[in-house]
C-alpha cells in the first residue's frame, strides 16, 4: 500500500510560525511522526512539501501515474482558493484525506471554506500533527475495505 502525504505552503515552518496555533513541533517532528506511524502500520509513505501550487499539482498527477493508493493532503492556504489543486485532486480516482493541524472552522471566516474538501473522501481538522495519524488510519481502513 503506497500513500502520498502532501504538505502545502508554510507547513515546513512548523515550530517557527504561530506556535500558539500550530504548536511547537517542527516539520522534522511531523515527518518522523508520519514515517514512524506508517512503518508501524506496515504501509509505504512518501512525504512531499512545497510552497508552490504547480509543484503540488505535478506531484498529485505524478503520484497517480505511479500508482499511489491514497493521498493525504494539507493544502495550507491553498485550501481556500486553489481551484487548480482542487481540480487536480478531483482528477485522481484514489481516496484522499484533507488534514489541517489547526481547527480551521474555529479561525477566521475565510478559513471556513475549503475548495479541496468536497473532492476529498474526508477532512480532519484541529488535532495537531496527530491528525496525520488519523488520516493514515482512515486511508488504510478505506483501502483495505476495497480488497
* Residues labelled as active-site residues: 22, 100
H or E, element range at 62: helix 53-65
Report the alpha-carbon distance of residue 75 to residue 116 in Å, rounded.
Answer: 8
Going by C-alpha positions, the residue among 128, 122, 100 that lies closest to residue 112 is: 100
| Residue 93 CB-half CA count within 13 A | 0
Pairing status of strand 96-100 against strand 122-125: parallel
CA distances from 65 to 58, 62, 91 (A): 11, 5, 11
Do residues 31 and 95 touch, judged by C-beta distance below 8 A?
no
Amino acid at each position: 500500500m503506497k500513500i502520498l502525504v502532501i504538505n502545502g505552503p508554510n507547513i515546513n515552518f512548523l515550530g517557527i510560525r504561530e506556535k500558539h496555533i500550530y504548536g511547537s513541533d517542527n516539520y522534522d517532528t511531523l515527518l518522523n511522526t508520519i514515517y514512524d506511524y506508517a512503518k508501524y502500520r506496515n504501509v509505504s509513505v512518501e512525504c512531499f512539501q512545497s510552497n508552490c501550487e504547480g509543484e503540488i499539482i505535478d506531484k498529485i498527477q505524478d503520484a497517480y501515474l505511479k500508482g499511489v493508493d491514497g493521498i493525504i493532503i494539507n493544502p495550507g492556504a491553498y485550501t481556500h482558493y486553489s481551484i487548480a489543486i482542487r481540480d487536480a485532486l478531483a482528477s485522481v480516482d484514489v481516496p484522499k484525506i484533507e488534514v489541517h493541524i489547526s481547527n480551521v472552522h474555529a479561525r477566521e471566516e475565510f478559513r471556513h471554506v475549503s475548495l479541496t474538501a468536497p473532492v476529498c473522501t474526508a477532512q480532519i481538522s484541529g488535532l495537531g500533527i496527530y491528525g496525520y495519524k488519523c488520516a493514515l488510519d482512515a486511508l488504510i481502513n478505506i483501502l483495505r475495505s476495497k480488497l
